[in-house]
Amino acid sequence: MKHLISLKEQTKEDLLEILDLAKKVKATYKAGETMEPLKNKTLLMLFQKSSTRTRLSFEAGITELGGHAIFLDSRATQFSLTDFGDEIKAVMRFGDILMFRAMKAADVEKAAGFNQIPVIDGCSEKYHPCQALGDILTMSEHANGLENVKKITWLGIENNVSNTLTLAGAKLGIEVTIAAPEANPASVDAELNAQASAVGKVTRTLNLAEALAGANFIHTDTWMDMEFFSDGKVKPQFEAEYERRKRVFTPFQLNAGLINTHAPQAKIMHCMPCHVGYEISRDAIDHPNSIIFDQAENRKHIQKAIILWLLGIPSPL
């Protein structure tokens, strides 16, 4: 049984299959054609943390393919009252595939370990494979082919998104350069980093000119924890860490000046939500090179492909 958790378990050929399927599914949707290969199929969506694009993309995606999604907020379930393993095994009896947005990747792996139905990591502290594949889809579209995506630069902090994007890029033969003064400690996966370095070209540097030189795409994500804020103000207990992060990460902000100076050809990406004035500036979001909203839309098309691929449903096209 196949699962999509960290991308460590997928081959280059697997990734290419998913991306090719996403292109076909998207083209069919854009042509206004209807297809229902997932009729009578149920997607279980279990959320331990909030979501906008992940929920929308999975729910809209399976609906457009004729299936149905059930949303489960863990706070409104009985997971807290019992053993996680027992409860998740019961939950998986009610659907054909599980998308789990989890606080801990270990819980996603535990669910997958039962091999009852395919399991998708819909975002955990270590991995965000759906985001990575959706981003690669967007890059291939804007580069007029995956073969023209030569270099991705990641700015800011290493985290779950950069982990899976780096590994996907490495497996697909794309150079990945990371300009990040720190990694989110909870996101570190030494095995993933070793695999990425072994199969592809991954470079780390704090020299921004070097990092951005020749980049086709520049990507970033939040490095300021939103729990630091209340009503737009920094909570007193977080003031010291807030100031430290501003000092450490602001030089790596993705902004128009940086793009115009070092990489005028590069497309601007962000997985959203954007925290304006921190990891990205308003003039970068609104820059002519920004493809952030194309990136967001493609989450839906890649989710469709992931579901079809995991369920082993032949391309309906």
What per-residue confidence (pLDDT) applies to 155?
99
Domain 130-295 architecture: 3-Layer(aba) Sandwich (3.40)
Q: How far is CA 88 from the centre of its chain?
A: 23
Fold of 12-127+299-308: Rossmann fold (3.40.50)
Q: Which residues have C-beta within 8 Å of that of residue 15, sequence separation ≥ 6? A: 7, 133, 136, 168, 171, 172
Q: Where are the domains of the chain?
A: 12-127+299-308, 130-295
What per-residue confidence (pLDDT) applies to 161?
97
Tell me, yes or no, if the two domains 12-127+299-308 and 130-295 fold the same way.
yes
- Tens-level pLDDT at each residue, the chain (317 residues): 999 999 999 999 999 999 999 999 999 999 999 899 999 999 999 999 889 999 999 999 999 999 999 999 988 787 877 898 999 999 999 999 999 999 999 999 999 999 999 999 999 999 999 999 999 999 999 999 999 999 999 999 999 999 999 999 999 999 999 999 999 999 999 999 999 999 999 999 999 999 999 999 999 999 987 778 888 889 999 999 999 999 999 999 999 999 999 999 999 999 999 999 999 999 999 999 999 999 999 999 999 999 999 999 976 66
Contact predicate 59/45, CB 8 Å: yes
Angle between helix 129-142 and helix 160-171 axes, rounded to 10 deg:
50
